[in-house]
Amino acid sequence: MSQRVERFVAKVVTQQKVSRDDAHRTLLLLMVVRMHRFFQAVLLLVEDGLYDSAAALMRSFLEQWFVFAAVSNEPDLARRYAVQTQAESRKALSGLRRLDATCRAPELTERVLDDAIAAYGPGEGFNVAWWAERTGNLDTYLTLYRRLSMHAHGAGAPLEDYVQMDDRGEVVGLRETAAIADMPGFLMAASSMHFKVAAVLMDWKATDNDRSEAQRLELERQALDAQVNEYYAQSPRYRRA
């Protein structure tokens, strides 16, 4: 299903033509391209059995999706996105000031860095929770995003997934399928979000065949999603691979 969603979104994306003067749609299309590359990479990692790495990358997909969903509904939020992006650049430059002078390029003097930082002006950095809440997806941030973050950070919680134990609770080896139990739910969630991206683009341009295909694909996706939810409902602790 995820592969079919990927192919469908790719087809819809290639049909779009955006004027250079349409800054709003240009920004949205750029975000779609970035999300689609993340989505493609996730599928490749899953095919290779690298489920934990796929989960880490899916977190990046979800961050961009929060912004896309907000800006597509409220075009004026693009300005806030720009301010947060500039703030991240300012933070990066501020970090350079903490480097020992011998570790910086000679031209990156204190004066040069101060001027560059001042040019960006004040403003908050990128705030994932804010974007999630703005789109009515704070629950997704507090659940799915947090779960994916476990695989993106260096915290110790996910390490137990790499341990294979016997019935007595003793370590007998390493597991090569970390995060596999969560992957069906992760993929269905990401596929649903990516399908919503296609729906936005189809409001710009789409053929009748595309709309019919979208309806069929969405019905199949919903049916499969129900099966996945039923699997987790019957196995609340998940079947360890």
User: What are the E-state strand segments in the chain?
Assistant: 163-165, 171-174
Q: Kindly report the pTM of this predicted structure.
A: 0.85
pLDDT at residue 166, rounded to an integer = 79
**What's the CA gap between 157 and 147, in Å, rounded?**
10
DSSP 146-173: HHHHHHHS--SGGGGGGEEE-TTS-EEE
> What integer pLDDT is reported at residue 52 of this predicted model?
92
- The tokens for 229 are 């939810």
* pLDDT recorded at residue 241: 38
* Distance of alpha carbon 32 from alpha carbon 9, whole angstroms: 9
Give the per-residue pLDDT at 237.
53
CB crowding 187-200: b at 16 or more within 10 Å, else e = bbbbbebbbebbeb
- List per-residue pLDDT tens for the chain, 241 residues long: 999 999 999 999 999 999 989 999 999 999 999 999 999 999 999 999 999 999 999 999 999 999 999 999 999 999 999 988 888 888 888 888 888 878 888 888 888 888 888 887 677 788 999 999 999 999 999 999 999 998 888 877 777 778 887 788 787 787 777 888 889 999 999 999 999 999 999 999 999 999 999 999 999 999 999 998 888 888 655 544 3
- Burial (CB count <10 Å: 0-12, 13-18, 19+), residue 52: buried
